[in-house]
């Protein structure tokens, strides 16, 4: 979606195709099908100006009327963690059939996250079989992963740190590089041109390292909690000043969620295990991430004892701020465990409540604001670092809660201020 709007906003003619009729209808009315800052205005404008339109299941038309296709279908996890390539297979078949009817050169670019070998060994043979043409002379093929973060996905599209182009042959790579050069003009980021498989691995390696950084700092946070006076925030700030380490992705919290890190770490592990090289390091990264959210329950019990019948206020449902996405959100195991222990849960999130209702139905209560959520609560757990929650003062909690106990799962509150006014417990803060 962000790539489509990005190109359309710069005057390219973009035709999108999806099988989801509801999504297509929204897009064609200029309404983003999910919450993403800065997308709405440009989507509206580009649709109105005719630079972007979305078709329902018309890959053929999209391919015939354009020069290059970005394939961005989902690659979900299978139960064993490996990736499910069924949507890649279907879309490759559709693109191949369209290429069969096409007389001019067209480049297919795989943008979906796929394990090394997928573009070469799965996509290319399907495209060749269906098109009855030869990859290289007849059509081009590239693999170009994206590194967008939800919540800033549009900004990340327009200003990326790097471009990775895995190419089947030089002509395919040149065509895609020229497109990116034209798109980014003077702000063109460093571009890495490489093989299809290396490009595929770059995405997994990047996401796995970021997940590793998070699990690492969470481990340090867990040590800090056992050391009176220690604070993981100070440790992370000091570590981050070392240029070799860098300050980003060292925010300790309740673990990572979302549609990428959990899925990609699992997929790389399954892929590598299959190669005969099980990734012990990522095993540990995953393990830390599994237990980290349960710290919230541990803190809760330390403060309240038995949770049966206790009112717990949950601030934040989305897996991170500025999105309504709850895929693999750390709040899910937390709420499930609270319910298991007999607690009454009331939750609030600025945008994710409609999504949360599909996850928890009526097992929990939904508040209309953060303040409303805190009413009569025995304990509040801050789960998502929304700006709105950062503005809450100690009085907002003390005046409304039955007993003011706050668990800061994302370290957004100043312990010096909050611990003076209430029972304040935070990830990575030695008591």
| Residues involved in catalysis | 260
| Contact status: 251 vs ligand UDX (CB under 6 A) | yes
Sign (positive or negative) of CA dihedral 227, 230, 236, 240? negative
Spatial neighbors of 361 by CB under 8 A, at least 6 apart, are none
Cα distance between residue 280 and residue 132, in whole Å: 43
Backbone φ and ψ of 342, nearest 5°: 90, 10
Rg over CA atoms, the chain: 24
Least distance to ligand UDX, CB of residue 67, Å: 25
Least distance to ligand UDX, CB of residue 228, Å: 25
Q: List the one residue from 32, 96, 116, 253 that touches ligand UDX (CB under 6 A).
A: 253
Q: List the one residue from 148, 235, 296, 427 that touches ligand UDX (CB under 6 A).
A: 148
Least distance to ligand UDX, CB of residue 259, Å: 6
| Contact status: 355 vs ligand UDX (CB under 6 A) | no
Question: Which residues, 293 to 322, sit near ligand UDX by CB under 6 A?
Answer: 319-320
Cα distance between residue 118 and residue 71, in whole Å: 13
Contact 47, 30 (CB under 8 A): yes
Torsion of CA 290, 292, 293, 298, to 10 degrees: 120
Cα distance between residue 148 and residue 161, in whole Å: 10
| Contact status: 110 vs ligand UDX (CB under 6 A) | no
> Strand 163-167 vs strand 140-143: parallel, antiparallel, or unpaired?
antiparallel
Q: How many of the chain's residues bind ligand UDX (CB under 6 A)?
A: 19
| Contact status: 360 vs ligand UDX (CB under 6 A) | no
Stretch 189-228: interaction string toward ligand UDX, x if CB under 6 A: ------------------x--x---x--------------
Q: Which C-beta is closer to ligand UDX: that of 146 or that of 378?
A: 146
Question: Which residues, 169 to 188, sit near ligand UDX by CB under 6 A?
Answer: none
Q: List the one residue from 3, 69, 112, 150 that touches ligand UDX (CB under 6 A).
A: 150
CA distances 345 to 178, 233, 376, 392, Å, are 53, 29, 11, 20
Least distance to ligand UDX, CB of residue 328, Å: 8
Q: Which C-beta is closer to ligand UDX: that of 92 or that of 323?
A: 323
Q: What is the DSSP letter of 72?
A: -
- The CB-nearest residue to ligand UDX is 260
Least distance to ligand UDX, CB of residue 246, Å: 11
Mark the segment that binds ligand UDX (CB under 6 A) among 226-234, 238-246, 247-255, 304-312: 247-255
Closest CA to 316 of 408, 233, 219: 408
How would DSSP label each residue in 296-352?
HHHHHHHHHS--TT-EEEEE--SSSTT----TT-THHHHHHHHHHTT-EEEEE-SS-
Q: Which C-beta is closer to ligand UDX: that of 34 or that of 183?
A: 34
Contact 92, 59 (CB under 8 A): no
Q: Which two tokens stand for residue 424?
A: 């304040």
Q: List the one residue from 68, 260, 265, 407 that touches ligand UDX (CB under 6 A).
A: 260
Q: Which C-beta is closer to ligand UDX: that of 102 or that of 320?
A: 320
Least distance to ligand UDX, CB of residue 248, Å: 7
| Contact status: 149 vs ligand UDX (CB under 6 A) | yes
Q: Which two tokens stand for residue 416?
A: 């010096």
Q: List the one residue from 32, 258, 293, 428 that touches ligand UDX (CB under 6 A).
A: 258
Contact 341, 304 (CB under 8 A): no
Q: Which C-beta is closer to ligand UDX: that of 307 or that of 356?
A: 356
Q: Which two tokens stand for residue 76?
A: 């979900």
- What residues line the site for ligand UDX (CB under 6 A)? 146-150, 207, 210, 214, 249-251, 253, 256-258, 260-261, 319-320
């Amino acid at each position: 979606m962000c790539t489509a709007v990005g190109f359309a906003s710069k005057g390219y003619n973009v035709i999108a195709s999806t099988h989801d009729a509801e999504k297509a209808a929204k897009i064609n009315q200029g309404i983003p099908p999910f919450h993403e800052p800065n997308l709405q205005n440009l989507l509206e404008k580009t649709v109105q100006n005719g630079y972007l339109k979305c078709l329902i299941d018309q890959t053929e038309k999209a391919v015939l009327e354009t020069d290059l296709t970005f394939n961005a279908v989902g690659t979900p996890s299978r139960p064993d963690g490996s990736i499910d390539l069924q949507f890649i297979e279907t879309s490759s078949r559709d693109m191949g059939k369209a290429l069969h009817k096409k007389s001019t050169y067209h480049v297919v670019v795989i943008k979906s996250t796929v394990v090394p070998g997928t573009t070469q060994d799965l996509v290319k043979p399907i495209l060749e079989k269906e098109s009855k043409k030869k990859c290289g002379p007849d059509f081009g093929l590239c693999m170009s992963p994206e590194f967008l973060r939800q919540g800033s996905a549009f900004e990340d599209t327009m200003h990326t740190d790097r471009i990775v182009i895995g190419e089947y042959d030089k002509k395919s790579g040149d065509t895609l590089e020229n497109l990116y050069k034209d798109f980014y003009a003077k702000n063109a980021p460093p571009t890495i041109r490489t093989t299809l498989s290396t490009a595929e691995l770059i995405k997994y390696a990047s996401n796995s390292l970021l997940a590793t950084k998070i699990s690492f700092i969470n481990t340090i946070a867990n040590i800090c909690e056992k050391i009176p006076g220690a604070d993981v925030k100070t440790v992370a700030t000091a570590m981050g000043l070392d240029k070799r380490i860098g300050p980003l992705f060292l925010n300790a919290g309740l673990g990572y969620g979302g549609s990428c890190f959990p899925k990609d770490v699992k997929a790389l592990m399954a892929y590598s295990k299959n190669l005969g090289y099980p990734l012990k390091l990522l095993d540990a990264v995953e393990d830390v991430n599994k237990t980290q959210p349960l710290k919230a329950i541990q803190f809760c019990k330390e403060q309240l004892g038995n949770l049966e019948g206790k009112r717990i206020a949950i601030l934040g449902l989305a897996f991170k701020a500025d999105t309504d996405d709850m895929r693999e959100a750390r709040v899910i195991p937390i709420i499930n465990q609270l319910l298991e222990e007999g607690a009454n849960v009331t939750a609030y999130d600025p945008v994710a409540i409609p999504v949360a209702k599909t996850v928890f139905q009526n097992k929990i209560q939904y508040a209309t604001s953060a303040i409303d959520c805190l009413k009569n609560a025995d304990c509040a757990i801050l789960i998502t670092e929304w700006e709105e929650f950062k503005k809450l003062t100690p009085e907002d909690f003390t005046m409304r809660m039955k007993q003011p106990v706050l668990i800061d799962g994302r370290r957004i509150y100043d312990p010096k201020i909050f611990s003076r006014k209430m029972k304040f417990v935070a990830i990575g803060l030695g008591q």
